[in-house]
Structure 1
Amino acid sequence: MTERKSPTAVLREGPRTLTEDQVREIEETSLEGVLHVDIDDVIEYVHKDLKSLPDYTTLYRRYLKQRWDVYDLDFSQDVVDWTEKMTEAERESFIAIASGFHHGERQVEIELPVFMIGASEEEKLHIAAQIEDEARHTVFFDRFYREVVGLRGDDIMAVLDASFSWVSETFVGPFGLLAYQADEVRRNPYDERARVRYGTNYFLWIEGVLALSVMKVTLSYARWRGFLPAYYTGFTATCRDESRHVQGGMRYLQQAVRKDPTMINEIHNTLRTILASSGVVSRRIYYEPLGWTDEEVRLLFRQQLRRKLNDVGIDLAPDIEDMLSRAQPVLAGG
């Protein structure tokens, strides 16, 4: 177990400054070495290049260097930690928070390919790599739910069905909207306004806010308690993958706004739709077993969204700021 600062203290410290050695460790470490990387450093790494935003070819080259094999993970210690060391309240909170990510990875495999049609050739390389990443992440969660949590199923979809009861509106809402937006893009793949709406929901909110929040909550718990080493390793490697996804998505949104400043209206209206649906909550989850409060998770949501928009030069409308302050931090519920 490592010494733990409260989430509030960590969040209020502001941006971390990564050394060259820390950046090199995050970018170049093997899967085995990822276990020893601090998740807070990896989340900070997501933001490191947002102001400069590497091009899609650079992101593709990073993908080639950072690919990892989900079948190299050994979940045997995780089983011991899950069944013998974690409390029932910790297990229930953990699986609830993680379930939305489990389902999200699978849906992105379905919805992201349509975004490739209207993309540049360089961007297609990056998106193709991202789809392969999402498939790997889907298998990672399938293994965790089967081998550690003990959910049963003859195939991947059956395990997804078994974990769906934990997924709350905070995930169902944005992913339902994404399915609608993907149909828009599928019908007219060169409609830039439809693409910006899709990109705002997926790249900014789902990946940039929801996914990174799930990572920080569950992985900070695992690091603090010294539990679930294979989960920590695989999900931290997933976070490293997500850094490329978020950077590529924010590059797209930044370029779209610079090309046509009225696209900011599409971004703002999409965020309004998402935040309006976040007030609908039928399932409750308690963060305290993992060392977080509702207000700390709400602060995490706000911080993740504001940092990304600030770094790429996109402002939030005052009414969205107000909606964000009242957003329900229910990542998933049991």
Structure 2
Amino acid sequence: MEPNPLILLAAGGTGGHLFPAEALGVELMKRGFRVRLATDSRALRYSGLFTRDTIDVVPSETVRSRNPISLARTGVTLATGMAVAIYLLRKLKPAAVVGFGGYPTLPPLIAARLLRIPSVVHDANAVLGRANRFLSSYVSAIATSLPGVLDRDPHLASKTTTVGTPMRPAILAAAAVKYAAPDTTGPFRLLVVGGSQGARIMADIVPGAIEKLEPSLWGRLLLTQQVRDEDLGRVRAVYDRLKIKAELAPFFTDLPARLAANHLIVSRSGAGTVAELAAIGRPSILVPLPGSIDQDQFANAGVLSQAGGALRIPQAEFTPDRLASEISALAAEPAKLAGMADAARKAGRLDAAERLADLVVKVAGI
């Protein structure tokens, strides 16, 4: 008997890339397809759908500087990745290759083009990422999470489909939990997350903001905050002094359930985070990571803020005073929080994995 068709998924080794790949993988497996993941070595720590025997590590490297030596090293690594990817695709013979962004997607997607294998890239951001931008002219189809991403490029827009961001099962389960607005005298649950690039600013700003809240709110506050190991001591000292009920950790394995359980979330605005807040329907204060060439996090946060589901605060304006003011105002207006939760939910899509799977099957001609 012929084995079921294989779809090779390619993604950078971060949650923002891996989680949508996992969600699509779950949907494709429901439809009887086999799936494998091509990625970098970071994903070997990943404990989701993909296990070590279904992960293929392809060498890759990000362009980190314009230094000639650094560029040469990056070029050699990517060339090695290309050789590995071509060998891998010839061995696996996938029906299609689907990329989710990040430099580790370059070798598998370019190899797919050279070997005439149908391919798709998915981008979760409001601005197409650099790797996907480079690949966009070479792939069979482009899937975006948000509408209008490529409207200014007719050549690419003609092969672009808006599908949303595929959601892993844990997010779909959290989305089933209805938002319950806080009582003005009851507990107020606040979740602060920052991701690998955002926890430091949260450790610098949030404790000072909490200290500036009215003491009456201290007693109501149930705070959960992602804090790096090196910042735990100083952050804990502030909350202990204020007698704040706070749970602090560098990482939360059950983040979807925690998103659903809280009244307000303070976070960076990576594409995955914004999509999950929308899918679950939770109000948020979003602080885009500055310095990005594409300003993708600023654009991502703008999608939810324009929909009425979030407040967007640029990092230059993210001060203890400003954050304390916003938290105090929202804690005093449960109806506004409920309205933000509803607006966020209306901006979310829960069927994105199915829609992307439909596109992949169509492109693969299966």
Shorter-chain TM-score: what band? under 0.3
Q: Whose strand proportion is higher, 1 or 2?
A: 2
Q: Which has the larger radius of gyration?
A: 2
Structure 1-normalised TM-score? 0.27
Q: Whose helix proportion is higher, 1 or 2?
A: 1
